[in-house]
Amino acid sequence: MRGISRVPNSPETSVLRGIVVTLAVLQATVLGLLARRGSWLSDDLDFLVQGGRGFAPHELLEPVNDHIAPGLRFIYAAFATVAPLNYDVTVIWRILMQALAITLMGLLLIRVLGPTWWVIPGTALYALMPVSMPSFMSLSSGVNNLSAHVFGLLLLHATIDWYDGHRRRAVAYGPLSLLISLACWEKSGLILLTVAAMALYLRDEPLRQWLRRTWPFAAALGAAVLGFGHLYITHASPSRGQVPAPADLVGLLGRGFEVPLSAIVGGPWTWARTGEAFSLAAPPLAALLAGGLLTALLWAVGWRRDRRALLFWIAVAVYVPATVVLVSYGRFSTFGSVLTVHYHYWSDLSIPLTLAVVLAARQVRAFVPMLLLVGFAAGVIVSDAGFAQQWGNNPAKAYFATVDAELDRTGTNVNLWDTAMPQPIGTALMSDRRLSPVLQMAGRQFRVQEPGSEPLIVDDTGHIRPASFAVWSRNAAPAVPNAFCNFLLRGTEPLTIQLSPTQNEVAVAEWFVKAAYFSNRENEVSVELLDADGAVTALPARNWPAGATTMYLGPSQRIRATELRLRSADPASNLCVTDLQIGLPQ
């Protein structure tokens, strides 16, 4: 294996390892403290609810949006099982993963560079790089990307083992590391660009012999890729992507290359103001110019003194358009250019970028890189502080703490409307914005829209209070009134009731239903809302108890309801609806 030779006063390897571990623990702990300022994001809550369903293979292979990530599903299932809705447990997990990743990078630098003080600034560069910081803060991104970092770095260690002659060990954990990384985040397969750069960097023999030596390891990695590819093809539900127009793609590539240029000077320095903790970079021109000049300098140094270092710069240069094309193909048609600078997709760029910078910078007199490292650290402080300020604005922590206290106060018999969580805790991107599945996953006991008592509402601050019901429509008067019952559901014949609006318009919403009725028996009845074009949205079938009471149903899917239909599969059904209201609890 190639590396720099020992120089006088070289540090002991044990000393370097101790410093690396200390850096890892300190930096991961600081990020953990910053992460605690925030709380859950909508993806986290979605994934926790799904994770609460357990570890069965069909649950782990449930698509995440339009792709599969059984590793992510497994980790969220563990969170939901061990400590549901306990945010601090997730922070501890992230600290451990971050510290492990930093340690693995430090040990990798020791193996590549030898026992040199350059290991310390190299480890610090990787640990502090803002491109990966937002992924630590966001749990869903952290599960993807921290796993990609840890197992990607293990794969690089396996690559070095292979060329050091430890072939059985390399084949034992290298392909497995790649497979686990892909299972957590399929885009992490781009680590293979860095693996190729590392393999070529370590080459110390003619190309033909090197290829003969390399192909078994490459075949083992290819088998891991094919294995995950088969899993993806058979279980994922990819959306129909769209390649942006050439002009758009050029603009996207330009924004993509802003990421590494600003990262090596501690950027982006500033973030897009979205009003939420969303890691969209907005680097100033000064950051891009400084990053461009530094990149040009490092390229020139690498070209003159160690051209093998340029292999990692090439890995970075290929990583950027690959990321832009992958992200824009799947997301551009829906989100436009915004997600190309969403740092969730760029975190693992810090691995090849760190290797590229360190291997070139070590050829320069030490005082110059030290000055640059000071400037980098200043940029990191500004970037991290700016993001931490946005991150701390997340209202989820206060909201769930209040809900928890309110449920303790009201007891397990409290009856609640099945309403959605407020923005930005619950967003339109969630598959289910309701609060009840989150609380049920956390093991909280309460009733949901049970008949017999008017449900209470959880308001936007998390307090439980009496609700009013804003009525938007109600049952229209029947064409032929009946003295006994105007709206009678008998047997399996569907009952369709026309709705009469009570407001100035018939709105589109996720409607709730209040149905007053009487019956001499319990009936299982399903409810459907229909619009003027015949579109139907169904509410879950429920048992309607015997007696004179009120059922509370909803929410529906979004619809402009003009009719309501009752159905029963029981020939003995016998139920009279006396008053029907369609509206929204508030």
- Domain annotation covers residue 424: no
> Domain end: 357, 372, 392, which one?
392
Cα distances (Å, whole numbers) of residue 31 to 17, 145, 274: 21, 15, 22
Sheet holding 415-416, edge to edge: 447-448, 415-416, 456-458, 464-466
Domain presence at residue 340: yes
Residue 492 identity? T
- Does residue 151 sit in the same domain as residue 256? yes
Query: Pick from 533, 528, 487, 494: which is nearest to 511 by CA?
Result: 528
Indicate whether 366 and 512 sit together in one domain.
no
Query: Which phi and psi (to 5°) does residue 435 adopt?
Result: -75, -35
* Residue where a domain stops, chosen among 351, 371, 392: 392
pLDDT at 275: 63
Is residue 458 included in any domain, yes or no?
Answer: no
* 478 and 374 part of one domain: no
537 in a structural domain = yes
Tokens of 322: 């690959």
Tell whether 60 is covered by a domain. Answer: no
Whether the model clears a pTM of 0.85, i.e. scores above it, the answer is yes
**What percentage of the chain has pLDDT greater than the value 90?**
67
Structural domain boundaries, residue 579: 469-585
Last residue in a domain, options 359, 392, 425: 392
The reply to whether 427 falls in a domain is: no
Give how many domains the chain has, as a whole number: 2
Q: What is the pLDDT of residues 434-456, one digit of tens each?
A: 999 999 999 999 999 999 889 99
Same domain, 138 and 270: yes
Which residues lie across from 458 on neighbouring strands? Answer: 464
567 beta partners: 526
Instruction: Report the CATH number at residue 563.
Output: 2.60.120
**Can you give the pLDDT of all 586 residues of the chain as single tens digits?**
444 444 446 789 999 999 999 999 999 999 999 999 989 988 899 999 999 999 999 999 988 877 889 999 999 999 999 999 999 999 999 999 999 999 999 999 999 999 998 999 999 999 999 999 988 999 999 999 999 999 999 999 999 999 999 999 999 999 999 999 999 998 999 999 999 999 999 998 999 999 999 999 999 999 999 999 988 888 877 666 677 778 878 888 888 899 999 999 998 998 887 766 677 888 999 999 999 999 999 999 889 888 899 999 999 999 999 988 888 776 665 666 666 678 888 999 999 999 999 999 887 766 666 777 888 889 999 988 888 888 888 899 999 999 999 999 999 999 999 999 998 888 877 888 999 999 999 999 999 999 988 999 999 999 999 999 999 999 998 877 777 898 999 999 999 999 999 987 778 999 999 999 999 999 999 999 999 998 999 987 789 999 999 999 989 999 999 999 999 988 999 999 999 999 999 9
Does residue 341 contact residue 231 with C-beta atoms inside 8 Å? no
